Amino acid sequence: MKQRIIVYANQKGGVGKTTTVANLSAALALTGRRVLLVDMDPQGNASTHLNVKPAENQKSTYDLLLKECPLKDVVVTAKENLDVVPAGVMLANAEAELVVAKGSDSRLKRGLANATNYHYILIDCPPSLGQLTVNAMTAANEVMVVVEAEGFAYEGTAYLLKVVEETRKYCNPLVKITGLICTKFVSTLKLSKDIHERLTQNFGEVMFKTNIRKNVKLAEAAAAKKDIFEYDENCTGAQDYAALCKEIIEQEGNQ
Ligand code: ATP
Ligand code: MG
Dump pLDDT digits (tens) for 56-107: 788 999 999 999 999 999 999 999 999 999 998 889 999 999 989 999 999 9
- Closest residue by CA, ligand 1 atom 2: 13
Give 96-142 pLDDT, tens digit per residue: 999 899 999 999 999 999 999 999 999 999 999 999 999 999 999 99
Section 183-211 average pLDDT: 93
- pLDDT at site 213: 98
**Ligand 1 atom with minimal separation from the 12 CA:** 2
Instruction: Provide the angle, in degrees to the nearest 10, between the axes of the packed helices 131-139 and 91-100.
Output: 80
Instruction: Strands of the chain (E only): list them.
Output: 4-9, 35-39, 76-79, 82-85, 120-124, 142-148, 176-183
Give 38-54 pLDDT, tens digit per residue: 999 999 999 999 999 76
Say what the pTM is: 0.97
* Angle at CA of residue 18, ends 15 and 22, nearest 5°: 140
CA of 199 to the centre of ligand 1 (A): 19
Contact assessment for residue 198 and residue 190, using Cβ atoms and an 8 Å cutoff: no
- Ligand showing the shortest atom-to-Cα distance for residue 19: 1
Residues with CB under 6 A from ligand 1: 13-19, 41, 43, 45, 127, 183-184, 212, 214-216, 218-219, 222
Give 141-155 pLDDT, tens digit per residue: 999 999 999 988 877
Contact assessment for residue 18 and residue 45, using Cβ atoms and an 8 Å cutoff: yes
